[in-house]
Structure 1
Amino acid sequence: MARRIGILTPIGIRNLKEPGVYSDGGGLYLQIGPTGAKSWLFRFMRQGKARAMGLGPLHTIGLAEARQAALACRKELLNGQDPIEQRKAARNKSVSAQPTFAACSQYYIAAHEHGWKTPNIELSGLIRSTPMWDRCSATSRSTWSMWAL
């Protein structure tokens, strides 16, 4: 017997109130939490382990969009790729494109040091020679750590 896909309907989803996980077929599930929040999950098996990937809340992702996302995930699985790892790799690419604090500070110093009153202060050399700033991204530092020099 073939598996059914597209079991849930918009009216049926609206009427569901009980916390639990409801299948739409093809690995797509509607999860209702204890507070009544509804969200979409894509569940699959990878190397003998059950995996679940959140696709988004129901108020943002509709039924048709969730089905399209689940279809894309199934296609990735057919190509031998893990959809969760693909999403992590895409997120890491966007984070690695951010400039480091060292790059930002060097740009700022080069742009503003001509207007400083005391040019004999080697602040630019101090920051440029500190290897700690090269390893950290600008978003991972709090403001106070900049003044801890």
Structure 2
Amino acid sequence: MMAGRTLNKLTAVQVARLKEPGRHSDGGGLYLYVDSAEKRRWIFLYGKSGKRVELGLGSARDLSLAHARTEAARLREVIALGGDPKAERARHKELPTFGKCADDYIEAMKPSWRNSKHAHQWVMTLKTYAEPIRAKRVDAITT
């Protein structure tokens, strides 16, 4: 029987104080990488087809230890289900913008609207009033 790998090796205090350049393991593929200029970022390392793949998660300034652990757990789950985290991230980037979805919705619903005024109201709302969010990917829009 193989011993389980240790998770959560680092503490928030250690993360805040680490200055030594290099990779500092939190376990489960999650690392805090400190470069020579003391810039710090979270990375996730995993193996695919016999090669090591490094996936950046974000700056340690912007991403807390807790959030980095949550993201690493999600990536480990993707791997456990036979997926590739890097490929999933690329697929995620291909999501449509709000504007594209809004335009597709208008075209799909136009035949069911009873009059042209109703159609014009929808177009006005989704093109003019929603202009600030039209360029955003749908997964980036929140309340």
2:69 equivalent to 1:67: yes
Q: Distance in 2 between matches of 1:56 and 1:39?
A: 6
Q: How far does residue 34 in structure 1 lie from its aligned partner after superposition? A: 1.5
Alpha-carbon distance, 1:2 to partner: 2.2
Matches for 1:81-96 after TM superposition, within 5 Å: 81-94=83-96
Matched, 1:34 2:36: yes
Residue identity in the other structure for 1:58? A
Provide the residue aligned with 2:58 in structure 1.
56
The total of aligned residue pairs comes to 100
Shift, 1:93, TM fit: 2.4
Q: TM-score, normalised by structure 2?
A: 0.65
* Candidates 24, 27, 44, aligned match of 1:25: 27
Residue 54 of structure 1, CA deviation:
0.5
2:28 maps to a residue whose letter is G
SS of 1:93's partner is coil
Letter aligned with residue 17 of structure 1 = K
Aligned partner letter, 2:56? G
Give the partner amino acid of 2:8: G
Normalization by structure 1: what TM-score?
0.62
The amino acid across from 2:47 in the alignment is M
Q: Unaligned regions of 5+ residues in structure 2, if any?
A: 101-143
Match of 1:16 in 2: 18
Q: Could you tell me which residue of structure 2 aligns to residue 7 of structure 1? A: 9
1:43, distance to aligned residue in structure 2 (A): 0.2
Once superposed, what is the RMSD of the aligned Cα atoms?
1.9
Unmatched tracts of structure 1, length 5 or more: 100-149
Q: Which residue pairs with 1:43 in the alignment?
A: 45
Structure exhibiting the larger radius of gyration computed from Cα positions = 1
